[in-house]
């Protein structure tokens, strides 16, 4: 928790209060903060800033001198389409994608997504995982999360409209590597005489849709259907990573504009 | 488990056997494999390949037609110096670094490493986590792991000899971004008329030592001591990631030669 995010209802300029147990515990136990200390806070959907602790009780921390003058970091210009993973790893995946700044997340069915995953109580806790991710990543803008329980209708009817500048699907068993794909895109920018050492240029080379499978990846039928809609299959090399690790490795390319 | 790794003692050409409970369970429950099926296997420290299941009992799976003709993927040319993290996340960090192909791992003390972490029973299980990482990443070469319980003597007396082509230390609160740092290195290669769209060139731009803090990062004293030995502090942007996520984001740059 690198900042404490509060809903608009907890603010009354220049005051605010913390009344969520996990946040109060964090202030007390992890930060060991005292009355008079400054906290990093944020208002959900608004700005980041600071406040001073006025009083601490078991169920409420009163804040004063609230200043919210720091804009949140930019979101990554990408939609991640993720095959719904095992409930056990869903929390960390949503946290990590949120902390990384993914703006749009679509959880989709896939052949290797077990039906029981869609009944998991974890799916009712997505807002909580998003809040954890925002507080980890120091952001206040909630990503959109959509659930698509039917793979084929989504891919055939909705996916194309999301692809504005290229799309990839991570697939361990494919020849083209993500590195080679990005280099091709960079080379195309270079050929068009766009200066290469520029974050902006590199941004242009990054696709705006990334599809990532769950454990076991996509089956051939899924890869073919995604390819028909314009998703280029790319691998991250001969090594196969856990879904969480793969998401961070791949999205790291966006985070680092590289 | 994307391949099943066995020690040399389990091989007797062209036969081999699996006698570890977790591997037997994986073959039975996750793969649902039967007698006659082909398994992806590897010999630790040797090669990857395949074998056919001859028989399955509760405590042993006999394999025949063992062929070990696939060389393991190259290791990343980098030493990761990681502040010893909470025991809870140590397993996943070692697994992920191993799966990513980090060749050398040094677990080091830091101000924010609690003393109790060094007494954790998890430290006796590093070999097990490495095996999990190798079986995840489809590799058979064990990374070296060294434990350095004293920060200052290690940094002052041993670190410099590890730095052959630049070193970085990840530090959220620093101005230079990893992206900018890598672009500077790329630009230097470009100025030296080395073709830019080449994995080899990009490799040259990647430092060979990466220092990553645990939760809460490094303190200023540690950053200064590391800087004196040639470690450039770089950030991965305004977002602060979990250690695991940061490791994957940063090492992803090596994995993807980008």
Look up the ipTM and state it: 0.91
Do residues A11 and A125 share a domain? Answer: no
Do residues A194 and A103 share a domain? Answer: yes
Chain B nearest-CA distance from A140, in A, is 11
Residue B175 has pLDDT above 80, yes or no: yes
**CA–CA separation, B63 and B56 (whole Å):** 9
Average pLDDT over residues B207-222: 93
**CA–CA separation, A160 and A63 (whole Å):** 47
Residues in chain A within 8 Å Cβ distance of B138? 238-240
Which of A245, A251, A254 has the most B C-beta neighbours within 10 Å, making it the best mutation to test the interface with B?
A245
Helix axes B87-100, B243-255, angle to 10 degrees: 10
B209-212 and B167-170 as β-strands: parallel, antiparallel, unpaired? parallel
Which of A210, A217, A255, A257 has the most B C-beta neighbours within 10 Å, making it the best mutation to test the interface with B?
A255
Residue B215: pLDDT band (50, 70, 90) is confident
Which of A94, A252, A257 has the most B C-beta neighbours within 10 Å, making it the best mutation to test the interface with B?
A252
Contact residues, chain B to chain A, C-beta under 8 Å:
2, 73, 95-96, 99-101, 136-139, 177-179, 182-183, 186-187, 190, 196-197, 199, 236-242, 244-245, 248-253, 255-258
For position A200, what pLDDT does the model report?
A: 43
**CA–CA separation, B159 and A216 (whole Å):** 39
Interchain CB distance below 8 Å, B255 and A249: yes
Buried b (16+ CB within 10 A) or exposed e, A23-52: bbebbeeeeebeeeeebbbbbbebebbbbb
Do residues B97 and B66 share a domain? Answer: no
- Of A19, A49, A70, the residue at which a domain comes to its end is A70
Do residues B64 and B83 share a domain? Answer: no
Among B101, B137, B248, select the one facing A248 at the smallest CB separation.
Answer: B248
B189 versus A137: the higher-pLDDT residue is A137
B251 φ/ψ angles, rounded to the nearest 5 degrees:
-70, -20
Residues in chain A within 8 Å Cβ distance of B245? 96, 99-100, 244, 248
Interchain CB distance below 8 Å, A256 and B256: no
Residues in chain B within 8 Å Cβ distance of A244? 244-245, 248
Q: Minimal Cα distance from B251: which residue of A?
A: A249
Cα distances (angstroms) measured from residue B161 to each of B12, B79, B85: 41, 12, 24
Contact A162, A205 (CB under 8 A): no
CATH of the domain at B10: 2.40.240.20
Do residues A64 and A88 share a domain? Answer: no
Do residues A108 and A168 share a domain? Answer: yes
Do residues A20 and A107 share a domain? Answer: no
Which of A201, A239, A242, A247 has the most B C-beta neighbours within 10 Å, making it the best mutation to test the interface with B?
A239
**CA–CA separation, B242 and A163 (whole Å):** 30
Residue B173: pLDDT band (50, 70, 90) is confident
Chain A nearest-CA distance from B134, in A, is 9
**CA–CA separation, A20 and A41 (whole Å):** 14
Size of interface A-B (CB pairs under 8 A): 130
**CA–CA separation, A100 and B171 (whole Å):** 16
Interchain CB distance below 8 Å, A73 and B239: yes
Non-local CB neighbours of B68 within 8 Å, separated by 6+ positions? B41, B42, B43, B46, B47, B48, B49
Do residues B66 and B80 share a domain? Answer: no
Among B73, B199, B237, select the one facing A239 at the smallest CB separation.
Answer: B73
Residue B164 has pLDDT above 90, yes or no: no
Of chain A, the end-to-end C-alpha distance in Å amounts to: 27
Interchain CB distance below 8 Å, B237 and A256: yes
Do residues B164 and B229 share a domain? Answer: yes
Non-local CB neighbours of B192 within 8 Å, separated by 6+ positions? none
Interchain CB distance below 8 Å, B242 and A99: yes
Task: Give residue-wise pLDDT tens across range A156-174.
Answer: 999 999 998 889 999 988 9
List of long-range contacts for B35-39, beta carbons under 8 Å, 24+ apart: B39/B4, B39/B63
Do residues A16 and A83 share a domain? Answer: no
Number of residues that this document lists for chain A? 258
B5: alpha, beta or left, given left = phi > 0 and alpha = psi -120 to 50?
beta
Contact B101, B139 (CB under 8 A): yes
A100 φ/ψ angles, rounded to the nearest 5 degrees:
-70, -20
Residue A213 has pLDDT above 60, yes or no: yes
Buried b (16+ CB within 10 A) or exposed e, A158-179: ebeeeeeebbbbbbbeeeebbb
How many folded domains does chain B comprise? 2
- Bridge partners, residue B107, by sequence: B82, B147
- Domain region containing A40: 4-70
Non-local CB neighbours of B147 within 8 Å, separated by 6+ positions? B84, B106, B107, B123
A125 versus A191: the higher-pLDDT residue is A125
- Of B70, B96, B120, the residue at which a domain comes to its end is B70
CB atoms within 10 A of CB B230: 14
Task: Give residue-wise pLDDT tens across range A27-56.
Answer: 999 999 999 999 999 999 999 999 999 999
Do residues A113 and A240 share a domain? Answer: yes
Question: By CB neighbour count within 10 A (0-12 exposed, 13-18 middle, 19+ buried), where does B200 fall?
Answer: exposed
- Of B17, B50, B70, the residue at which a domain comes to its end is B70
Contact B3, B48 (CB under 8 A): yes
Do residues A62 and A98 share a domain? Answer: no
CATH of the domain at B128: 3.40.1280.10
Interchain CB distance below 8 Å, B245 and A178: no
């Amino acid at each position: 928790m690198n900042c404490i995010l509060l809903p608009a209802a907890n603010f009354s300029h220049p005051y605010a209060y913390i009344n969520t147990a996990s946040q109060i515990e964090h202030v007390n136990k992890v930060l060991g903060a005292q009355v008079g200390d400054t906290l990093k806070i944020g208002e959900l959907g608004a700005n980041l800033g600071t406040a001073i602790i006025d009083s601490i009780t078991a169920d409420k921390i009163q804040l004063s001198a609230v200043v919210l003058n720091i804009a949140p970091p930019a979101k990554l210009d990408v939609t991640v389409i993720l095959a719904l993973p095992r409930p056990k790893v869903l929390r960390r995946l949503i946290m990590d994608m949120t902390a990384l700044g993914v703006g749009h997340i679509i959880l989709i069915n896939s052949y290797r997504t077990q039906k029981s995953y869609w009944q998991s109580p974890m799916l009712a806790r997505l807002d909580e995982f998003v809040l954890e991710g925002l507080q980890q990543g120091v952001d206040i803008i909630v990503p959109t999360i959509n659930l698509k329980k039917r793979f084929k209708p989504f891919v055939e009817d909705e996916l194309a409209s999301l692809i504005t500048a290229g799309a990839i699907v991570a697939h361990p068993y494919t020849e083209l590597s993500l590195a080679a794909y990005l280099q091709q895109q960079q080379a195309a920018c270079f050929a068009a005489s766009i200066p290469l050492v520029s974050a902006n240029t590199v941004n242009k080379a990054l696709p705006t849709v990334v599809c990532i499978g769950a454990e076991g990846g996509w089956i051939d039928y899924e890869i073919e259907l995604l390819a028909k809609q314009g998703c280029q299959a790319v691998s991250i090399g001969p090594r196969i990573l856990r879904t969480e690790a793969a998401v961070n490795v791949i999205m790291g390319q966006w985070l680092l504009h590289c």
